[in-house]
Structure 1
Amino acid sequence: MPEPVHAYSCPLFWTEYEGHCYRYFPINKTWAEADLYCAEFSIGIRSAKLASIHSWQENVFVYDLVNSRVPGIPTDIWTGLNDLRQEGHFEWTDGSSYDYQYWDGSQPDDGIHSIPEEEDCVQICTALLE
């Protein structure tokens, strides 16, 4: 008789959502620094990446996860979404499809209203999720 297949469990301090493990780190880093920092938590064939979001439910899960660690958060969270390889073509660092696009107004806008006019990486402004 074959052994039962056990669901993957997340490491200590990580939270599982639909087969993926999430963790919020309240550390101030640039997008590139955060991306590298996440990679340090890769275990075997399971690579750690900045979060990719594919549904409203997952968006709410990420918000709730951060809010449970930093109540009353007016903080921004880096995601894995970026257009570093090709300007205007957004993709997730984990290679998954860009199939969820619930952003404020005309975001992401590549920083056309900021100085310098160059924003290649996307963050969630948690104050807007409530």
Structure 2
Amino acid sequence: MQYNYYEVINMKLLLASIAVLAVVVHGLNENVYRPCPQFWLSFNGNCYRYFGERVTWEAARDRCRDHYSFNGRADLVSIHTEQENGFAYDLFRSSAGITPSTRPPYYGAWIGAYQTTSGSTGRFIWTDRSGLNFERWVPGQPDNHGNNEDCAHLWRRNAGDDIFQGWNDLPCEEDLPFICKVAPN
């Protein structure tokens, strides 16, 4: 069987159209393995993202929970090792100059540790319900100053804090940027 020139061209166009349609229907990006959602960074088996928008702790938690991967719902970052703390701190520190506080040189980024009872002096827990098996409080913290510091944040007063990479408790109504964490795809 012999095909003429136009039949060959039409057949090639048909095959090309089918290929394009398959890409559109199934999505080009669906065929590419991405361990983390777009714009999220991978570290030790989880995905992280810094958000520079300054919001209350509760609004930060809710914004994190608006994000999903194939394997779960995001939440404010829970920190379980020194290495993970350093990674989260570096995410915050590398962007801190972009979102300065109204009280320079005070910088912070919400993390998922909080007290379930407002104004208490009890232990902090993580929003994702994982165990609080690692803590990195700045010396003298948490102090629950004014009986209303129930939420935790990474804290940076000055360049010296880059070595310690500590946490502080703060009123949950303060406006800070935040870091989210989610399981990879």
What's the TM-score once normalised by structure 1's chain length? 0.80
Give 2:116's aligned residue: 84
Using CA pairs below 8 Å that are at least 6 residues apart, which structure has the higher relative contact order?
2
Q: 1:71 Cα deviation (Å)? A: 5.2
Shift of 1:85: 4.3
In our comparison, the structure showing a higher alpha carbon Rg is 2
Tell me the distance in 2 between the aligned counterparts of 1:16 and 1:68: 16
For residue 97 of structure 1, what is the aligned residue in structure 2? 131
Identical positions, percent: 35
**Which residue pairs with 2:56 in the alignment?**
30
1:124 to 2:174 alignment: no
Q: 1:15 to 1:85 in 2, by over 3 A?
A: same
Alignment RMSD, CA only?
2.3
Deviations 1:39-89 (A, max 9, x none): 001235411000111111111111222233445875201010001247312
Structure 2 residue ranges without an equivalent (≥5): 1-32, 101-105, 164-185
The equivalences for 1:1-130 within 5 A come to: 9-70=35-96, 75-85=107-117, 87=120, 88-111=122-145, 114=146, 117-127=147-157, 128-130=161-163
Name structure 1 gaps, 5 residues minimum: 1-6
Letter in 1 for 2:162: L
- Give the strand-richer structure, 1 or 2: 2
Instruction: Give the ranges of 4+ consecutive aligned residues of structure 1 lying more than 4 Å apart after TM superposition.
Output: 70-74
Residue pair 2:37, 2:69 contacting (<8 A) in 1 also: no
**What secondary structure sits across from 1:21 in the alignment?**
strand
